[in-house]
Structure 1
Amino acid sequence: MSHSDEQLQSVLETLEGCRRALNEMNSRESAELLSIVILDVRMKLKGIDGADLKALCDEMLRNAGSEPQPPSKQTQDQPRRPLLRVVK
């Protein structure tokens, strides 16, 4: 783990503690805003960029509320970009 990753991990732990405190004080809006910051820091730590997150969200929206359907012949022929990368 690099020095900057260690710093980000420390910041993440602090932010999560702040979010817990806000939730305990029933300050949900502030806690939700902090959750967005926490997500951003986690993405940086895992090397996930905004395009990856958007692709995942787009795929989830396409599948929301509908039953899985077999892919059409046209989409079967096109290679799909992976939605998530495995991070070790």
Structure 2
Amino acid sequence: MSHLDEQLQSVLETLDECRKVLNQSNSRETAELLSIVILDLRMRLKGIDNADLRALCDEMVRSAASEPPPPSKQTQDQPRRPLLRVVK
């Protein structure tokens, strides 16, 4: 791991902590924006470019289009699972 990667990893850890604090203080929108920044940084560290992310999103949309109809009203009141999950 290069020195720059180590520095970016440290920044990533700090951003994760900031996001936790924002979530605890009910600043959900700001925490979600920070999640996007965290995702971008993790993609850079893992060597994933925008074209790879676009291909993943396109495939997810195609898969969702072929899924059965949405569940009944009772299950719609439950929070949705996010389509993308940030992986450390």
The alignment's TM-score, normalised by the length of structure 2, stands at: 0.74
Percent identity over the alignment? 78
Counterpart of 2:33? 33
Distance, in Å, in 2 between the alignment partners of 1:61 and 1:46 is: 23
Counterpart of 2:53? 53
For 1:1-88, list aligned pairs within 5 A: 1-67=1-67
Counterpart of 2:78? none
For the aligned residues, what is the CA RMSD?
A: 0.8
Counterpart of 2:79? none
Larger-Rg structure: 1
| Pairwise CA distance, 1:65 | 4.2
Distance, in Å, in 2 between the alignment partners of 1:34 and 1:23 is: 11
Deviation string 1:10-52 (CA, Å, 9 cap, x unpaired) is 0000000000000000000000000000000000000000000
Which one-letter code corresponds to 1:21 in the other structure?
V
Runs of 4+ in 1 over 2 A off after TM superposition: none
Which one-letter code corresponds to 1:42 in the other structure?
R
Unpaired runs of at least 5, structure 1: 68-88
Distance, in Å, in 2 between the alignment partners of 1:23 and 1:50 is: 27
Deviation string 1:46-88 (CA, Å, 9 cap, x unpaired) is 0000000000000110011424xxxxxxxxxxxxxxxxxxxxx
Q: Would you say how many aligned residue pairs link Structure 1 and Structure 2?
A: 67
Distance, in Å, in 2 between the alignment partners of 1:23 and 1:37 is: 15
- Secondary structure in structure 2 of the residue aligned to 1:30: helix
The alignment's TM-score, normalised by the length of structure 1, stands at: 0.74
Unpaired runs of at least 5, structure 2: 68-88
